[in-house]
Structure 1
Amino acid sequence: MTRTILITAIAPLSWGTTYLVTSELLPPGRPLLAAVLRALPAGLLLLAITRTLPRGAWWWKSAVLGALNIGVFFALLFIAAYRLPGGVAATMGAIQPLVVALLASRLVGEAITLRRIIAGVAGIGGVALLVLQAQARLDVIGVIAALGGTVSMALGAVLSKRWGRPASGLAVTSWQLIAGGVVLVPVLLLVEGLPTEPPTTTNLLGYAYLTLVGTALAYALWFRGIERLPVTSVSFLGLLSPVVAVLVGFIVLHQTLSIGQLVGVVVVLGALAVVFAARPVLSSSAEGSQSVGARR
């Protein structure tokens, strides 16, 4: 299962660069445009590859998952990215493992263990060190958007685990991306409107990176991990995103990296070690055979 964990980790690693790309390559003040251009092209690309449409109940299930994992999440993500410094915006997702653990205990029967609670609290503490040491202004709307996006994606991840998939992972990913993009289009038209100036080459490079790497590839690997691993454990991998955001800010933007932030990075990595070193992680099929009260 180590290989599956490492492959799944590629998704949050790429998401950690979203904040750098947004602030440095995309046009300012257009979070909804960025969300639409990130989701729809990626979904259509994957649909062209798989040539598979949803059937039956999966039309509405795809719409729900697309709204939670893509539509609502992307809108709030980009609002947070525009209103908060990169490292701060990324660290708001630290509560996701605990939210997922609570939802998963109710919806898919994954036990809330003391080990996971301790690791979740440690993860929050680690990213809090990153935030507190960043000496950055916290925007209320940005913080609310970041936390709202975290809860939306947490619910989407748990429902993805509960409902499984009726087709290939790429096909299901394409349905969600398209559904999420469609949800965002009317919001874009009402709130921001269409752009009045053509995108620059720099803008196009930013959109291309977010579409191909940060969305098509990342989400395909993320949903693959949710299918094969306990969803609560997968959610802890999301803690890698703020670590990458802070390190990229230090390396690329020459932002200050304090001792406190380094301690935060170590704490986050320690939380991941606590979760994944407990014992070999079960696949979804093996995990489903255990009772709700099973201990890790």
Structure 2
Amino acid sequence: MSPLWTALLAPLMWGTTYAVTQRWLPQADPVWLAGLRILIPGVLLLPLVPRSVWQQRWRDVLILSVLNLGLFTFLLFTAIQRLPGGMAATLVSTVPLQVLLLRWLMGHFPGIPRLLAAMVGIAGVAMLVWQAPQQPDWLGVVAALLAAHSMAWGIMLVPKLGQGIAALPLTAAQLVVSGVLLTAIAVFLGLPFPEVTLSSSLTMVWLGPISVGLGYFVWFRAMETVAVEKLAFLGLVNPIVAVMAGVMLMSEQLQSLQWLGMTLVLASVLLAQRLPASLPVAGSLKPAQ
């Protein structure tokens, strides 16, 4: 199987996060969920991190860990518990658009095609949220957009702070650091540990070692041979899978204008990623989950 088709496994697995969490871990504390999901694969990948990374680059790893995984995953699970999976996934998929707008605010004009893509994406997000059959949980909406915002900053900092560290060791280091931080916060605050049942345990195995661990492994392995544009396109499978899983597992329903809004968001993300890259290669490979 080619690396491209192997990499497709990653967004296929990531897209199930929303419905799987809502179905089998609906009341679990989001801090514990985020910490366990990250820490378990992080421990398994720990041997891949050279000692020099911990000794010389710990500050860089800490910053990237908080933005790309720690804060992002906590906000992600907060949104998942408050919004339909399709809505949460589409809002989180605005990461490339937020990167575009942040760079514009920093003086890097994106060009007319990218600007139009951003405007279409913003319009799609508005349609998705305001056309919901019920009043959306605005805390969930804010959490989803802030999750994308956190990762957008992480993406822009990867080329600078992650320079000189191979992709897989850098990912493993971020998993370990962010997992330890979130778990420590959960223990310090005395948050209730998720109920341990057969279904919850199997769900965490899927969300952690399989979805995050295996997903990141095949994704970063494909980075060595597959063009950035193709991998970015595969990332669009994530929210599509989330919507389909929500319909099948949670009996979710979307209004016609919400379907249109989701289509506009995905179209704008696709257009923005298909245009000539304005970010360094290393910064454009981090997918949203």
Q: When the two structures are superposed, what TM-score results if normalisation uses the length of structure 1?
A: 0.77
The reply on whether 1:58 has 2:28 as its aligned counterpart is: no
Pairwise mapping of residues 48-197 of structure 1 onto structure 2 (< 5 A)?
48=47, 50=48, 52-53=50-51, 54-104=53-103, 112-195=110-193, 197=195
How far is the alpha carbon of 1:25 from its aligned partner? 1.6
Q: Is the 8 A contact 2:68 2:155 kept in 1?
A: yes
The reply on whether 1:259 has 2:250 as its aligned counterpart is: no
The reply on whether 1:203 has 2:184 as its aligned counterpart is: no
Unaligned segments of structure 1, at least 5 residues: 288-296
1:47 and 1:19, CA in 2 relative to 1: closer, same or farther beyond 3 A? same
Match of 1:241 in 2: 238
**Bigger shift: 184-193 or 33-42?**
184-193
How far is the alpha carbon of 1:88 from its aligned partner? 2.5
**Bigger shift: 114-123 or 66-75?**
114-123
**Bigger shift: 222-231 or 70-79?**
222-231
Q: Is the 8 A contact 2:94 2:265 kept in 1?
A: no
Match of 1:293 in 2: none
Amino acid of the residue matched to residue 250 of structure 2? L
Amino acid of the residue matched to residue 179 of structure 1? V
Distance in 1 (CA, whole Å) between partners of 2:218 and 2:210 is: 11
How far is the alpha carbon of 1:113 from its aligned partner? 2.3
How far is the alpha carbon of 1:184 from its aligned partner? 0.9
How far is the alpha carbon of 1:132 from its aligned partner? 4.1
Deviations 1:129-169, CA, capped at 9 Å, x for gaps: 44444413322322222222221111111111333443432
- Aligned to 2:81, what secondary structure does the other structure show? helix
How far is the alpha carbon of 1:22 from its aligned partner? 0.9
Distance in 2 (CA, whole Å) between partners of 1:196 and 1:13 is: 25
1:78 and 1:243, CA in 2 relative to 1: closer, same or farther beyond 3 A? same
Q: What is the root-mean-square deviation in Å for CA atoms of aligned residues?
A: 3.7
1:195 and 1:252, CA in 2 relative to 1: closer, same or farther beyond 3 A? closer
Unaligned segments of structure 2, at least 5 residues: 285-289
Deviations 1:154-199, CA, capped at 9 Å, x for gaps: 11111113334434322111100111112112321233535385x1
Deviations 1:40-78, CA, capped at 9 Å, x for gaps: 111111123x25331544111111111111111111111
Distance in 1 (CA, whole Å) between partners of 2:272 and 2:28 is: 38
Query: Greater relative contact order: 1 or 2 (C-alpha under 8 angstroms, separation 6 or more)?
Result: 2
- Aligned to 1:118, what secondary structure does the other structure show? helix
Size of the aligned set, in residue pairs, is 280
Distance in 2 (CA, whole Å) between partners of 1:58 and 1:243 is: 37
Q: Is the 8 A contact 1:230 1:281 kept in 2?
A: no
Amino acid of the residue matched to residue 205 of structure 2? A
- Aligned to 1:83, what secondary structure does the other structure show? coil
Q: When the two structures are superposed, what TM-score results if normalisation uses the length of structure 2?
A: 0.79
Distance in 1 (CA, whole Å) between partners of 2:228 and 2:203 is: 33
Distance in 1 (CA, whole Å) between partners of 2:6 and 2:108 is: 22
- Aligned to 1:195, what secondary structure does the other structure show? coil
Amino acid of the residue matched to residue 89 of structure 2? A
Match of 1:275 in 2: 272
Distance in 1 (CA, whole Å) between partners of 2:261 and 2:138 is: 23
Match of 2:287 in 1: none
1:75 and 1:63, CA in 2 relative to 1: closer, same or farther beyond 3 A? same
How far is the alpha carbon of 1:104 from its aligned partner? 4.6
Distance in 1 (CA, whole Å) between partners of 2:246 and 2:260 is: 17
Match of 1:22 in 2: 21
Match of 1:44 in 2: 43
Distance in 1 (CA, whole Å) between partners of 2:40 and 2:67 is: 18
How far is the alpha carbon of 1:18 from its aligned partner? 1.2
- Amino-acid identity (%): 36
How far is the alpha carbon of 1:121 from its aligned partner? 2.4
Distance in 2 (CA, whole Å) between partners of 1:115 and 1:209 is: 39
Distance in 1 (CA, whole Å) between partners of 2:121 and 2:184 is: 36
